[in-house]
Amino acid sequence: MAATNVVSARRPPRSSSRAKRRSRTFYLFITPWLLGLIFLTLIPFIFGFVISLTNYDGINLPTVKFVGLDNYIRAFSDQYVSFSIGRTLVWTAFNLPIWLGLSFLLALILNQDVKGRDFFRTLYYLPSVVPAVAAVTVWKILLDKNNGFLNGVISLFQPGTAVGWLTTYALQGMTAIAVWSGLGGGMVIFLAGLQNIPDELVEAAKIDGAGSWQIFQYITLPLMTPIIFFQLIMGLIGSFQQLVYPLLLATVTGQYVSVPPRSIYLYMIHTYQQIFANQRYGYGTALLWLLTIGVTALTLIVFWSQKFWVYSGDIPETEGSS
């Protein structure tokens, strides 16, 4: 809480007591958050790291042994780790492009002068307010193998259809749920971005004879890249940490033990199983740390890739836009 050099250099000396007072007020105001940062974020995080170096099982503290990096080394020979990473990558490759593409497309359409704009926007956003647990219930009865709506409709044309949309094709089914739930949120953010593009720019291009595809290619898309970039990062992180959907789609369930179909045995599920089903706290927290490292690395790569495709200038100033 030292008085700041920067501030006292900029201000006349007699106001340094004011600077001190302001500094005190600032830290008083953020005290709750700082305490939370220390006790509810940093300490559990460090504690989690320490545990990842032990064989802690959640119960027997006296027998805890320090095992060094064993848990981390073990992860590399655990065939379920590589399997679940593979599933996570496939899930991300499925979910992310569909979600991004569809929500961008809808935003593009709704940014035009179409009838019922507000109606459609509200409608598409509606599933986003449905909690994950209810969304899964909704889709379970829709996609159920034996008496679900989808198989029922298909059976009208091809009697006796019993496709396991949430078992055999669990990955596809889960993608449908995630896209249904995420569509509205993605669309709203893209729409806000589109509305920031000055009309004058588009008008000027039209006067110069640009077609709608050219306007999209040379104006809309480049100016939207920062938002696509942001959505990509959040989507990547979200996909890699996905736990709730597979957990809720598990076929064998207990309070802590849930086994989802193989195709959606994601990395977080494996981690969850280690901690809550097998009481391997040490190993589980090690897996969690590896995930954090992996996701951070991936995020940094996307950040680095920014310079190749993300428009970094300001949105051009035009008269009339503030």
Partner 1 sequence: MNRRAKDLFIKRLNRAGSYAILIVVAVLVVTPIIWLLLSSLKQDSDYMAWPIHFLPINWQWINYERVFTLTPFVKIALRTAVLGISCSIIVAITSAMGGYAFARFQDVNGNSRLFRVIIVLLIVPGIVFMIPQFIVYSYVHLIPNTYWPWILGALVGSPLFIFLYRQFFLGFPKELEEAAELDGCNPFQIFWLIILPNAKPVIATVLIFAFNGIWSDYLQPTLFLNDQMQLLGAKMATAFVDPHGNALRTVSLAATVIYILPLVIVFFFGQKYILKGLVTSGLKG
The distance of closest approach from Cβ of residue 179 to partner 1 in the complex, given in angstroms and rounded to an integer, is 9
- Picking from 169, 176, 189, 103, the residue whose alpha carbon sits closest to that of residue 135 is 176
Residue 303 sits in the site that holds partner 1 (CB under 8 A): no
Binding residue for partner 1, selected from 91, 99, 104, 139, defined by CB under 8 A: 139
CA atoms of 264 and 249, how far apart (whole Å): 9
Residue 49 to residues 58, 74, 253, 284, 292, Cα–Cα distance (Å): 14, 16, 29, 11, 12
Q: Position of tokens 């001190």? A: 20
CB nearer to partner 1: give 79 or 312.
312
Report the site for partner 1 in 36-65 (rule: CB under 8 A): 36-37, 39-41, 43-45, 47-48, 51, 58
Cα distance between residue 284 and residue 160, in whole Å: 43
Is residue 147 at the binding interface for partner 1, with CB under 8 A as the rule? yes
Q: Which is nearer to partner 1, 3 or 90 (CB)?
A: 3
Task: Classify the C-alpha dihedral 227-228-229-235 as positive or negative.
Answer: positive
Tokens 């990473």 correspond to what residue?
85
β-bridge partners, 259: 252
- Asked whether position 297 contacts partner 1 by CB under 8 A, the answer is no
Q: Which of residues 149-168 bind partner 1 (CB under 8 A)?
A: 149, 151-152, 155, 159
Half-sphere exposure of residue 240, counting CA atoms within 13 Å on the CB side?
19
Indicate whether 215 belongs to the interface with partner 1 (CB under 8 A): no
Q: 267 to 296, contacts with partner 1 by CB under 8 A?
A: 268, 271, 275-276, 281, 284-285, 288, 291-292
Is 22 a binder of partner 1 (CB under 8 A)? yes
Instruction: Show the binding pattern over residues 171-200: x = contacts partner 1 (CB under 8 A), - = does not.
Output: ---------x--x-x--xx--xx--x----
CA atoms within 13 A on the CB side of 287: 27
Specify the residue, 48 or 222, whose C-beta has the smaller distance to partner 1.
48
Query: Which span (65-73, 78-86, 197-205, 244-252) binds partner 1, by CB under 8 A?
Result: 244-252
Choose the binding region for partner 1 from 16-24, 63-71, 76-84, 87-95 (rule: CB under 8 A): 16-24
Residue 18, CB-side half-sphere exposure with 13 Å CA sphere: 7
Out of 67, 92, 104, 148, name the contact with partner 1 by CB under 8 A. 148
Show the site string, 80-119: x = touches partner 1 by CB under 8 A, - = not.
----------------------x--xx--xx-x-x-x---
| Beta strand pairing call for 258-259 and 252-253 | antiparallel
Is residue 302 at the binding interface for partner 1, with CB under 8 A as the rule? no
* Window of 3-11, 69-77, 86-94, 314-322 that interacts with partner 1 by CB under 8 A: 3-11
Q: Which of 83, 94, 299, 311 binds partner 1 (CB under 8 A)?
A: 299
Q: Can you state the angle between helices 281-309 and 43-51, rounded to 10 degrees? A: 120
Query: Where would I find the H helices in the chain?
Result: 5-10, 16-29, 31-36, 43-51, 70-77, 79-110, 117-129, 132-143, 149-157, 170-195, 199-207, 212-215, 221-240, 244-248, 267-272, 281-309
Using alpha carbons, select from 50, 53, 87 the residue that is nearest to residue 283. Answer: 53
Interface size with partner 1, residues (CB under 8 A): 102
130 binds partner 1 (CB under 8 A): yes
Q: If binding is defined by CB under 8 A, does position 122 make contact with partner 1?
A: yes
